[in-house]
Structure formats: structure tokens, C-alpha cells
Amino acid sequence: MKKVAILIIQISLLSVSFCFSQSKDPVVESIVKEATEHSQLEKLAHELLDVIGPRLVGSPQMQQAHDWAVAKYKDWNISAKNEKWGEWRGWERGVSHIEMVSPRVKSLEGMQLAWSPGTGGKAVTADVIIVPDVADSIAFQKWLPTAKGKFVMISMNQPTGRPDYNWQEFATKESFDKMKKQRDAQTEAWTNRLRKTGHTTRTLPVALEKAGAAGIVMCYWSKGFGANKIFGAYTKKIPTIDISLEDYGLLYRLTESGHTPRISVRADAKETGVSGTFNTIGEIKGTEKPNEYVILSAHFDSWDGGTGATDNGTGTIVMMEAMRILKKVYPNPKRTILVGHWGSEEQGLNGSRAFVEDHPEIVQNIQAVFNQDNGTGRVINLSGQGFLNAYDYLGRWLVKVPETIKAPIELKFPGIPGGGGSDFASFVAAGAPAFSLSSLNWSYGTYTWHTNRDTYDKIVFDDVRSNAILTAILAYQASEDPVKTSREKSVLPLGAKGEPATWPEPRKPTRRGGLD
């Protein structure tokens, strides 16, 4: 590795454009025309998100999605297959019915968490209590028998259901500051309350389950109107349900004031045994350099509070649409173009890590990987991921991209290698030039990332169409480039100890998950 100090350069693509010829390219023009006039994005999104739905690893819907993708590629005359890389706990979500039956009757908004035990096809009705504020773990152990037969609330009651931006728009500064101060104090007090039980948020539900609780009730608010994060349950026998901030607050206040609420929960779920886990791989074979690879990359799985629309349905359909367009207007690429729809990204980049581990012959001959994962917005950031000469080849390829698409993109060279976050990092760790097509925010972290609101209606198809065009042109240019991309790495910035940071190391995938 050449000893070159890292220098991060942020430049607009307008300045890059002057360095290279901008002659018209008929393939680029055909890509834009096909994407604009014959887009399949809305159809793909409907079939994947509305018909198949969320794609939790190990679920029947995940397998259905893999089979659907293979069939789509074959319809487009693209070779495709499902490649098994491991196994996971099989589980299928059913309906969740949650009602308050006392002190009055009300339907509650909520759902069971992923992998939650069901209620055996019947409703479980019980009083609701709040995890207590005890002196220490010994006192908590003495309290635990109280939980028997009860639904136990384990989340803090939020002091406001309005996001901060709403307060900033309408509240006085004094009122906003007062709310934040109260919320900070309440959050600290709740953290101490849980700490004194002697348990973490992971082990507390298990302790309550062992004590005979009827179920776990929680609220993981995403700090936006109506949005909750929906992750996985830690219980094995009793249901774990997440309830909206509004209804959770209602139950909490009734409990706290002595008007003990009673709820009825029916959570249908089915254990389906051990399920295979797969990556779906599509291929357009190269004509001149078939053993060198351009890879389009997007994780296929999702959490299942919504339908996984922006995480990562949009990345998925971008790569599928790019492959469809390339097959139609550029059917004989010089290098082989692969698409990887990775499984179990949400549990630790497992599908892409398995691919990297299982296919060293491909990884060592990668020209470039283009990954898209973070929402529905148009691409606005592209980092060189620490590859010293990435500015050279990325700059050449981007010149062909229409000005309206490339102008907003900020380049960061040489950048810092990503150690995680999405599947490009699996390739970067192995030394392969892999890049994240990072997109405009669209309130992703608050409203759609892992939430119950990540659904078809949040997709901004004009932005997604722009990304499909960008991806197809980059893949075309990477395939055509007569020069093999450099893998020379930058010397990384100094860390906390005054020594250069180290390049990420490849990590092993979890090939058998959720079965302990």
C-alpha cells in the first residue's frame, strides 16, 4: 500500500465534467429513453410490496420474493438463480387484534413484534401494569410474582406525541425548552428505573416471561407522527406487542391513575421450522472479459412492521430496473454484470458477507459494486470509500450521466471505507471497490426506516427513476472501461490513539440464525 496521506475532497460533478469529453452516447440515450418511456418501477413495487409484502428473513414471504425475482429476470431473458447460503428460524406473521376492554372499550393500534410467540388462535385478556420503580434488583426479584397473569408495560410514556420539528414551528421557545428539559429528566429517570431491575431491555422481557406474565407491552416511538420502530421479540412463550404512542400513553395514564386498564390480545403467528436463506443472483454475461464483474447490489429482506418499501424495496427495484434496461439496450456488455439481492442484511449483512466468503474468484475480479439502500430519494452522495484512485474512474463514468441527475451529487474522495451499515461494506472489507449510492433523506430515519409506515405510498418514483438511470449508466461505463479499477487504499486518518485507522476486516456471516 502506498504511503499517501488521506485528503478528503468534496467537489461537485459540474467541475468533474470539464475534465472529460461529453460527446453523446447512443447507449446512454437509449437507457434514458427506456427508463423514462417504459418504466416498470411502479409495477415492480406493487408486486413486491403490495402483493408479496414484507420480507422478514426466514419467512415464507422472503422465499416468495426470491422466487418472484428469479421469474422476473427470466421474463427479461436474464439468467437468475437463488443461491442458498444458510438457514434461519422460520416464522410467519398473522393478524394482531389488540383491544382495551376496561375501563371502556377501544380498539388499540399496535402489532406483535417479529418472531413473537402467538396466542394460540385465541385472545388473551388481562390487566395492564407498569414495570415498577424499585430500589434495586433484589427488590425487583421480590416484585416479580406480581407480574404473573398481567400484561407488563416496559417503555417510557412519552411526554409528547408531537415531533420536535412541530414544536419548533409552533411553540414558544420557552415552551419548547421546558418540554425538552422535562423529557430529558423523564428519560433519565426511566433509564434508572430499568437499570435498578438488574436487567437490560433484552433480558427484562425474558425475566417477566419466566415470572408468568401474560405478555409484554412496549412502544418504540420513532419520533414522528404515527411512526414506531418494529423489531424482534425476545420472548419465547408469551406475546410481545408494540402499541402506538397515543394508545400506549392512554394505557399508561390509566394504570398510573389507578383506573387499571384491561386489554385483550390476539396475536396469530406460525413457527415454520428451519428455513433456507438465499441470495438472488442475476447475470448478464460479459463478451470480452466475462471473468471480470460489475455488481449491482441491494438487500432484499426487510423488517415487517410495514412492507419494506424504502428499506429496501426501492433499492431492490432500482437494481432490477437497471438490469432490465441494460439487457434491452446493452445486451452484450464487455464485463459480466451481476445483480445481488442479498438476504438477511438486517441481521448483520449476512447474505453479502456469505457471498464474499463463498466467491473469492468473483471478489478478486470486481470492477465495481454499486449499492443502494437508504430510502426513496435521488442519489446525492458518492464516496470513494477510501480507494485512492476512485476519483479517476468514478469521475470518468459519471460524465455520461445526464446533468439533471449528476449535478446534485457530492463526491468525497478518497473518502473513508464503510465498516457496516449496508452490503457495500462486505465488499469494501475484502478490498473490492464498492460504493454506496447515498440518497436524499425524505425523513427516512424518522418515518420509514424500520417502521410501521414503510409502505408503497412513501415511494417517490421520480427520484427512484433517476436512480435507476444513474445505476444503469454507471454499470455500462464500468463494463466498457478499458482499464481495470485500482484497488490502492489510502492511509486512513489518525485515530484516538494517534495512529492511523485500519481498513475494515471481512466478517463472517451468521449462517444459522434465530434458532438458539
217-220: long-range contacts (C-beta < 8 A, 24 or more apart)? 217/128, 217/151, 217/152, 217/153, 217/154, 217/155, 217/241, 217/243, 217/248, 217/251, 217/263, 218/153, 218/154, 218/155, 218/242, 218/243, 218/248, 219/155, 219/158, 219/243, 219/244, 219/245, 219/248, 220/155
Over 60: is that where the pLDDT of 12 sits? no
Look up cell 421474463; give the residue.
75
> What is the DSSP secondary structure assignment for residue 115, as one 8-state letter?
T
What integer is the mean pLDDT of 75-98? 98
| Max Cα–Cα distance, the chain, nearest Å | 78
Write out pLDDT tens, residues 167-182.
Answer: 999 999 999 999 999 9
Q: What is the pLDDT of residue 16?
A: 45
> What grid cell was written down for 426?
462486505
Give the residue from 423, 434, 438, 435 showing the smallest Cα distance to 375: 438
What integer is the mean pLDDT of 200-223? 98
Distance of alpha carbon 237 from alpha carbon 296, whole angstroms: 41
Distance of alpha carbon 494 from alpha carbon 503, whole angstroms: 12
Distance of alpha carbon 42 from alpha carbon 83, whole angstroms: 27
Q: What is the pLDDT of residue 23?
A: 66
Q: What is the pLDDT of residue 22?
A: 53
Residues 6+ apart with CB under 8 A from 176: 164, 167, 168
Residue percentage of the chain with pLDDT more than 70: 96
Write out pLDDT tens, residues 29-43.
Answer: 999 999 999 999 999
What integer is the mean pLDDT of 141-164? 98
Q: What is the pLDDT of residue 8?
A: 44
